[in-house]
Chain A
Amino acid sequence: MEDEYPVLLDTFVLDSEERLLVLRKAEQAGDAQNLRLAAHSFKGSCSNMGALLLSGLCKQLEEAGRREQLELAPDLLEQIEREFAIVRILLKSERQRYRR
C-alpha cells in the first residue's frame, strides 16, 4: 500500500487521539458501558496496526468496563496513554521515511 501507507498512519494517529478523548470522558463520567465500547473499538484498530501492547491494554480496559470495575480504569487509561505516546513517536518516525 505504497501511496496510501502514510495516509493510513496519519489517519490512525488522528483516529486514536479522538478515541483517547472519548475514553477519558467515559472514565471521568464513570460510564462503564461507553468505556467498554470505546476500548473495544480502539483495541481492534490497534491490533490492525500491529500495536499489540496497546491492543492488549485496551482489551484489559474493555474487560474492566464489562465487569464495571471502574476503579481499575484510571490506572489502565494512564498506561494506554503512555503506550500510545510511544506508538505515536514510532509512527511519526515511520512517517518521516515517506515524506518527499
Chain B
Amino acid sequence: MPERLSILIAEDSAADRMLLSTIVSRQGHRVLTASNGLEALALFEQERPQLVLMDALMPVMDGFEAARRIKQLAGEALVPIIFLTSLSEGEALVRCLEAGGDDFLAKPYNRIILEAKIKAMDRLRRLQDTVLQQRDLIAKHNEHLLNEQRVAKAVFDKVAHSGCLNAPNIRYLQSPYAVFNGDLLLAAYKPSGGMHVLLGDFTGHGLPAAIGAMPLAEVFYGMTAKGYGLTDILRELNAKLRHILPRGVFCCAALLNVSFQRQEVEVWNGGLPDGYLLRRDGPRTALVSRHLPLGVLEPAAFNDSCEVYPLALGDRIFLLSDGVLEACNAQQELFGEARLLQVLDANPAAAQLLYQIQQALHDFSGQQQDDVSLVEVSLVEERQLNRPPLAFADSGQSHLLDWSASFEFRGETLRHFNPLPFLLQLLLEVQGLRPQGGALYTVLAELYSNALEHGVLGLDSQLKQDAEGFAEYYRQRSARLLQLREGYVRFHLQLLPEGGGGRLVITVEDSGKGFDAQALILREMRLDGLSGRGLALIRQLSERCRGSADGQGISVEFSWSPDA
C-alpha cells in the first residue's frame, strides 16, 4: 500500500479541478488546489507537496513556468510533475517535458490510469530519495574515512618525521599520503654520528598497509637513539612485525647505516628493488636484495647479515620502492629496470637524479605516480650536517657520580650481543656527560670495534687499503666471529667527582696479542688510508688517550665542569 501523499493540483477550470481533486482524495491522498501557476507556486513553497498535477494552459502564470520554478525550488529532491493536458501536438508535449514535467495525463481523466501514474511517480520519487540518502551516506563515510586518514597521518608524521629526513645530505621524493600506499621512509642520526636510513614498502594499500608503519618507526628511532647497530635493529623489526602483522602482510625494506667518520655504508636489502651505490667516479654498484622482507621469517631463521661498502665524499646511495619499476603506461607496459638504468647511465648530478626519474616516469606513464618513493643519501663531511644535540626523555634530575664498574664480555656473547647500547645507556645516566654524548658514543664504538676486530679477532686493518681488501676484511670478520669461542673485551668505567663537575675514565682491554697502544696511536694518526681513522678519531674526541700500563688496552678520559 503506497503511503499517503500530499498532492498539489493546479487547474484553472473549476469543474476539472473539482473532479480531479475528488478522484485523488478518494485514492487516499491529501489534496491542495490552485487555479493558476502563481497560486501553485505559493502553495508549493508553503506546503511542500510531494507530487504535482499541473494544467499546462492557465491564466496569470502558465503550467510551464510554474513547473520550471517548482523544480528549481525542489532542488535535488524529485517532485514529480504530471501535466494535465489535452494538448495533442508533439511540440506542446515536448514543451511540458522541457519545463521539467515527468509525465502526462490526457483529458478526459481516467481514474485507473491516474492512480497507476501516481504510483509510478511515487516509486520514482522514493528511488531518488534513496539514491540521495545513499549518496549522502557515502559522502559522510568518505569524509569520515578521509578524516581518519588525516588524523592517522598527523600521528604518523609525528612519529615518522621525528628523524632527520631534512638533513642536507638526504633527498627524497614521496607523495604526502605515501604511508597509505604502504611506503615508509625513515632516517635518524645515530648518537655516535652517522645515520640510519630505512625505506620500507608494506604489502597492501590503505590503513592495513599503514598500520605496521608505526611500530616500525618506533623501533627504528628508539633503537637508533639508544645506539643499537643495524643488525640489532633489523632483528627487532623483523620479530616485531612478524609478531603483530597478520600472515601475508610484511614489509619489503632496505636499511642503510651510513658512517661519515669511517666513510662506510652498511646495507641490508630484503625484498626492495636493487638500490644503487653511485660513486662520484667509478662504476655503480647494485645493492641487491639478499633477504626475505621484514616480518616473514621466524626470528631464529632471520638473516641479519649486511654488506659493507667503502664510500668517498660525494658518493651517493639511491633506494627506490617497487612503485617505480611497476609504473604502468596506457599500453599496460611496466616502466621496468631498463628504463631506470637509462636515467642512471646519464649520471645526473645529485640535485637532478630524483627529478629526472620522476620526469621519466611521468613521460612514460603520462600521469602523476603516487605510490613511488625515492631516496638519495650522499656522503658528506659530518660537520656539514648540523645535527641537533642528543635528546633525553627523562627529567634530568638524577645525579650519579662517584662509582666504578667493570664488564667482561666473552666469546659467545661477543658473537651475538652488542654491548654498546647497554654501556651507553648507563653512562648517559650521568647528567654531566650528556652534552658530550655524541663524542662518547663515537669513542666507545671505536674502542669496542678496535678491541673486537683487531684484538679478539686478530684482523689486520691494513687490509682495508682498497675496495677489494675492504670486502675481504668484512668477509674475514664475519667468518672469524662465527667461529669465536674464546677471548674477551673488558670495559672498566670509573666516575669521579672533580671540582664540582666530574671525570670519566674508560679503559678497554681485550684478549688479543697485546700491542704498544701509545705507538699504535701515533702510527694510526699518520695513516691516511681507509683504516686509520678510528684511533685518530678517539684522540680527537676524548680529552686524554693513552695506552694502559700493561699494553693490553687503551684508556680514555672525559671530564666536565659544574656549569656544563
Partner of B107, one of A14, A37, A44: A44
Q: How far is the CA of A8 from the CA of B16 in the complex (A)?
A: 9
Once the chains bind, are A40 and B15 in contact (CB under 8 Å)? no
Partner of B15, one of A1, A8, A43: A8
Q: A37-B57, A50-B108 given as contacts; is B18 within 8 A of A44 (CB)?
A: no
CB neighbours (8 Å) of A41 from chain B are 12-13, 57
Partner of A48, one of B12, B57, B87, B108: B108
CB neighbours (8 Å) of A60 from chain B are none
**Is A47 close to B, CB under 8 A?**
yes
Q: Least Cβ distance of A89 to chain B in Å?
A: 17
Q: A40-B86, A41-B57 given as contacts; is B14 within 8 A of A48 (CB)?
A: no
Once the chains bind, are A45 and B13 in contact (CB under 8 Å)? yes
**Is B286 close to A, CB under 8 A?**
no
Partner of A15, one of B14, B85, B108: B14
What are the interface flags for A23-64 relative to B under an 8 Å C-beta threshold, 1 for contact and 0 otherwise?
A: 000000000000001001101110111100000000000000
Q: Least Cβ distance of A91 to chain B in Å?
A: 11
Partner of A4, one of B12, B13, B22, B84: B22
Q: A10 — nearest CB in chain B belongs to which residue?
A: B15
Q: B87 — nearest CB in chain A belongs to which residue?
A: A40
8 A Cβ contacts from B101-138 to A = 107-109
CB neighbours (8 Å) of A7 from chain B are 18
Q: A19 — nearest CB in chain B belongs to which residue?
A: B13
Q: Least Cβ distance of A87 to chain B in Å?
A: 12
Partner of A47, one of B18, B86, B87: B86
Q: B17 — nearest CB in chain A belongs to which residue?
A: A11
CB neighbours (8 Å) of B12 from chain A are 41
Once the chains bind, are B57 and A11 in contact (CB under 8 Å)? no
* A: interface residue count bin: 10 to 19
**Is B19 close to A, CB under 8 A?**
yes
CB neighbours (8 Å) of B14 from chain A are 11, 14-15
What are the interface flags for B5-39 relative to A under an 8 Å C-beta threshold, 1 for contact and 0 otherwise?
A: 00000001111101100100010000000000000
Q: Least Cβ distance of A75 to chain B in Å?
A: 23
Q: How far is the CA of A40 from the CA of B88 in the complex (A)?
A: 11
Q: A15-B15, A40-B57 given as contacts; is B22 within 8 A of A48 (CB)?
A: no
Q: Least Cβ distance of B515 to chain A in Å?
A: 119
Partner of B16, one of A1, A4, A40, A44: A44
Once the chains bind, are A44 and B19 in contact (CB under 8 Å)? no
CB neighbours (8 Å) of A12 from chain B are 15
CB neighbours (8 Å) of B26 from chain A are 1
Q: How far is the CA of A16 from the CA of B26 in the complex (A)?
A: 25
CB neighbours (8 Å) of A49 from chain B are 15
Q: How far is the CA of A15 from the CA of B18 in the complex (A)?
A: 12
Q: B12 — nearest CB in chain A belongs to which residue?
A: A41
Q: B88 — nearest CB in chain A belongs to which residue?
A: A59
Once the chains bind, are A43 and B86 in contact (CB under 8 Å)? yes
Q: A4-B22, A40-B86 given as contacts; is B15 within 8 A of A45 (CB)?
A: yes
Once the chains bind, are A11 and B86 in contact (CB under 8 Å)? no
Q: How far is the CA of A6 from the CA of B57 in the complex (A)?
A: 27
What are the interface flags for B347-367 relative to A under an 8 Å C-beta threshold, 1 for contact and 0 otherwise?
A: 000000000000000000000
CB neighbours (8 Å) of B22 from chain A are 1, 4, 8
CB neighbours (8 Å) of B13 from chain A are 15, 41, 44-45
Q: A50 — nearest CB in chain B belongs to which residue?
A: B108
What are the interface flags for B142-164 relative to A under an 8 Å C-beta threshold, 1 for contact and 0 otherwise?
A: 00000000000000000000000
Q: How far is the CA of A12 from the CA of B15 in the complex (A)?
A: 5
Once the chains bind, are B107 and A47 in contact (CB under 8 Å)? yes
Q: Least Cβ distance of A66 to chain B in Å?
A: 9
Q: Least Cβ distance of A65 to chain B in Å?
A: 13
Once the chains bind, are A11 and B18 in contact (CB under 8 Å)? yes
8 A Cβ contacts from B68-97 to A = 84-87
Q: Least Cβ distance of B200 to chain A in Å?
A: 77
Q: A14 — nearest CB in chain B belongs to which residue?
A: B14
CB neighbours (8 Å) of B108 from chain A are 44, 47-48, 50
Q: How far is the CA of A94 from the CA of B87 in the complex (A)?
A: 30
CB neighbours (8 Å) of A48 from chain B are 15-16, 19, 107-109
CB neighbours (8 Å) of B85 from chain A are 44
Most chain B C-beta atoms within 10 Å of own C-beta, residue among A12, A15, A40, A45: A45
Q: B13 — nearest CB in chain A belongs to which residue?
A: A45
CB neighbours (8 Å) of A43 from chain B are 86, 107
Q: How far is the CA of A16 from the CA of B109 in the complex (A)?
A: 18
What are the interface flags for B409-420 relative to A under an 8 Å C-beta threshold, 1 for contact and 0 otherwise?
A: 000000000000
Q: How far is the CA of A14 from the CA of B87 in the complex (A)?
A: 24
Q: A1-B22, A4-B22, A47-B86 given as contacts; is B15 within 8 A of A11 (CB)?
A: yes
Q: B26 — nearest CB in chain A belongs to which residue?
A: A1
Q: A51 — nearest CB in chain B belongs to which residue?
A: B108
Give the top 8 A-B pairs by smallest Cβ distance, nearest first: A12-B15, A47-B108, A44-B107, A44-B86, A48-B108, A45-B13, A15-B14, A11-B15
State the A residues within 8 Å of B (CB): 1, 4, 7-8, 11-12, 14-16, 37, 40-41, 43-45, 47-50
In the complex, 19 of the A-B residue pairs with CB atoms within 8 angstroms, ordered by the A residue number, are A1-B22, A7-B18, A8-B19, A11-B15, A12-B15, A37-B57, A40-B86, A40-B87, A41-B13, A43-B86, A44-B84, A44-B86, A44-B108, A45-B15, A45-B16, A47-B86, A48-B19, A49-B15, A50-B108
